[in-house]
Amino acid sequence: MTAPRFLDRHVMVTGAGNGIGAATAIRFAQEGARISIIDRDAAGMAAVAAEVDASQIHIRVGDCTNMEVVRDFHDSAADNFGPVQVLFNNVGQSGRECSSPFADSHEDVWRFVFEVSLMTTMRLSRLVAPAMRERGGRIVNMSSDAAFAGDAGLADYAAAKMGVVGFTRALARELAPSGVTVNAVAPGAIATRAHDRVPADVIDRIRRETPAGFVGAPGDVAAAVAFLASDEARFITGQTLLIDGGRWMV
């Protein structure tokens, strides 16, 4: 029998309390990883923990937009399981119910979207990069097909998520000589709790534009993240994989 791909590797997942983050954290644990997870949703984190052996999981309930919280989470996770070998920067969101046409939008919403969707990705990557530069590793960042399609009503989110793509490419070039790969995933419409808070007309339009004709599941993204984090993807770096039923093709 083939050994699990992530046996005893330390994998960190942000925004892991529900949806894609939860599905991916559980997927990594099922493949043998020791997982460190953070989210503001304590109940969601408890639900993830219930699916995993207690010896495999390190939990922090907290806000990834707070640098002190993030630093403490990273340091305590490293103390518990050793240096992070795989980082999945999943946390992020659109303005959701505050989303609007750009001409009607507000700067405080832009700043929030950039903070939670781009700055959190840079923040955790900065914390894990020094150890990865010494030992190698994998970073997978969460973008969105909204960055490529330029969805109306999501200008701030599209801008932040395209920022993730640019950051992914630049960091991939910097860390490649150290045996670190850095890639991104860009999901389309995925059935999550957050998805339910996006204006219905936006979701309906995205679904109509999806050739596959259906909304994806969190596990569809988890499978792609696990591949990019595995040894099988050692020759893939600086790339963005769209997981959107063909809505945007590159």
Q: What is the mean pLDDT of each run of 10 residues along the chain (250 residues)?
A: 85 96 98 97 96 96 96 98 98 76 84 95 97 97 93 89 98 98 94 73 79 91 98 98 89
Q: What is the pLDDT of residue 205?
A: 78
Q: What is the pLDDT of residue 214?
A: 84
The amino acid occupying position 85 is Q
Q: What is the pLDDT of residue 2?
A: 63
**Per-residue pLDDT tens digits for 105-143:** 788 889 999 999 999 999 999 999 999 999 999 999 999
Q: How far apart are CA 135 and CA 150, in angstroms?
A: 38
- Cα torsion at 129, 130, 134, 137 (round to 10°)? -20
Q: What is the pLDDT of residue 229?
A: 98
How far from chain centre, in Å, is Cα 91?
5
Would you tell me how many other CB atoms lie within 10 Å of the CB of residue 75?
11
Would you tell me how many other CB atoms lie within 10 Å of the CB of residue 204?
11
Contacts of 97 (CB under 8 A, 6+ apart): 197, 199
Q: CA 236 → CA 83, 107, 140, 229, distances in Å?
A: 22, 37, 11, 10
Reply yes or no on whether 157 is catalytic: yes
Q: What is the pLDDT of residue 100?
A: 75
Q: Hey, is 187 helix, strand or coil?
A: strand
Burial bucket for residue 39 (CB in 10 Å: 0-12, 13-18, 19+): buried
Sign of the CA dihedral 8, 14, 17, 20? negative
Check 6, 28, 73, 157 and give the catalytic one: 157
What the chain holds in terms of domains, given with CATH numbers, is 10-243 (3.40.50.720)
Please report how the helices 120-135 and 155-175 are oriented relative to each other, as an axis angle in degrees rounded to 10: 10
